[in-house]
Amino acid sequence: MSITSTTTRFPFHDASLPIEQRVEDLLSRLTLADKAGLLFHTMAMAGDPEQGNAQFGLPSLASLIRKRHMNHFNVFGSAGGGRDFAAWHNAVQRVAAEVGLGIPVTLSTDPRHSFTNNPGTAMLAGAFSQWPEPLGLAAIGSAELVEAFGDIARQEYTAVGLRVALHPQIDLATEPRWSRQNGTFGEDAGLTSKLVVAYIRGFQGDTLGASSVATMVKHFPGGGPQKDGEDPHFDYGREQVYPGGEFEYHLKPFEAAIAAGGSQMMPYYGMPIGTQYDEVGFGFNKSVVTGLLRERYGFDGIVCTDWGLLTDVEIMGHPLAARAWGVEHLSRPERLVLALEAGIDQFGGEICTDVLIGEVSAGHVSEARVDASIRRILREKFTLGLFENPLVDEERAEIVVGNRAFVEAGLAAQRDSITVLTNGKQTGTAPTLPLAKGLRIYGEGVSAEALADYGTVVESPDRADVAILRISAPYDTSRTKGFESFFHAGSLEFEAAEIERLQGISRAVPSVLDVYLDRPAILTPLVDEAAAIVANFGSSDGSLLAVLFGDAEPKGSLPFDVPRSMAAVEASREDVPFDTADPLFRFGHGLRY
């Protein structure tokens, strides 16, 4: 769908011309302000384009388009159902059409098809079909299913105008404490490499084109080996370490993604310690971005920094320093120049277009260097067909987003990802699962309404025939400072009081523990007490209960090792896969009925 315009048409508007010719024509017409706007990719809230967002300190999207000539935005939140989302997108495109040469906006999104709600990394599914987290897709392990998911997500994204996926996240979860494993395919490089190829094909198709969603693969060169499992969103997690010498192991999924045609790449925040590469954050790291990604792998797509490398900000009422690890001493203009020298094309989460204009005007950055990045950015806009069809069909969006077939496919994947760890106490009792229907059921963390479909809901364990307890992997709950609280980090051990409580219920009544494993949990104190333990990686109550009561078969297998103890975790090497001694459950473990 086109936006009606009475302005003179230029050669770059002519879809019959080769894309490179259109790029050069448009590039020749851009002002320095236009170019600066193209090099920034920040957040925007779905809602009134004229309204800012105080929570994240953002001016209005419309003002960023008009005053800073920006046109790449990562969408936070949801504008409602498919029709409303599409209408909001179209309103944004109409604002862009009135500015300068009318370059259409590219909207991107973090994952928004599952259960995670960390505003820095992923969104709740909302109106979209709901699937297990990527760890759950890995638990299923099917490349065909992952491609089908990607294709469904592509259809829902494009229906509402989302054209860049800020995913897949293909870091390897070799450090069990790391808070961002939920968005990965787990610990194994081979499985991750297989699945990322299918993921990219699902979103992009065989080649990037007008019906594609471009994938921004992250976080190059692998964000898993975090020192002590801490995340580099925060200064205490700035170091990536390789005590086992396995830097190359973490590159394997990226090699597969590049070969599969992944369109964009995002380096992580961390700084490598004790390697041949510069000890600065990857977004400033020329030896990694240019030497490794551009030269060794020949990658010529867009490289966009992770969010917030240049500017200190306040988020949710708390200060958050720029993640300029290793170059904290540099000024904001100096950081910008260093990132461009490293080979970066876009600055994620930043709006300081004036700083770039100043550095070009002062001669610290050449306009030719800026143009090299502009060519990559414009090439993708043209390839995605945004100039021909900047608007989306709002009625069609209402039909496509969250339609019954897509929702059912997501629910089926939720069921398939359920992973049975134990079935019957380890002392040798008969299998507990599948449960018989019609029992008296005590539940925690599961809705009484869902339980009532399978039996009689009772209010205490001593009145029940079986207990079903939905719990989550433990984490350090003392990290309560706004944005930081969304990152589940720290010890993998349950608190003593929680262990005692769960053991008490399990001794009173046969108990099925369902554990949400956004990270591995130390389950050792519970395996001899619970009648059965299952893991989920994002599933509704209905999907879980269908498996527990035998309406669906459990098909999941662990995408990582589950350690036996925190001592084993602390003794393991952050970069080495499957390195905890004598794990309680190994990668690939999953019982069947």
Catalytic residues, by residue number, are 306
**C-alpha–C-alpha distance, residues 95 and 84, integer Å:** 17
**C-alpha–C-alpha distance, residues 250 and 229, integer Å:** 16
SS3 165: strand
Cα angle value 388/391/392 (rounded, 5°): 115
The single-letter DSSP state of residue 284 is: G
**C-alpha–C-alpha distance, residues 206 and 384, integer Å:** 14
Comparing C-alpha atoms, which of 445, 17, 459, 482 is closest to residue 234? 482
**C-alpha–C-alpha distance, residues 44 and 482, integer Å:** 19
**C-alpha–C-alpha distance, residues 453 and 352, integer Å:** 55
Alpha-carbon distances of 283 from 218, 304, 309, 536, rounded to whole Å? 12, 8, 8, 34
The β-bridge partners of 315 are 318
Cβ atoms within 10 Å, residue 147:
18
**C-alpha–C-alpha distance, residues 253 and 241, integer Å:** 19
Kind of pairing, strands 439-444 and 419-423? unpaired
**C-alpha–C-alpha distance, residues 258 and 294, integer Å:** 11
**C-alpha–C-alpha distance, residues 351 and 313, integer Å:** 12
Do 279 and 273 contact (CB within 8 A), yes or no?
Answer: yes
Do 568 and 576 contact (CB within 8 A), yes or no?
Answer: no
Say which residues have a Cβ less than 8 Å from residue 247's Cβ, sequence separation at least 6.
221, 222, 272, 275, 575
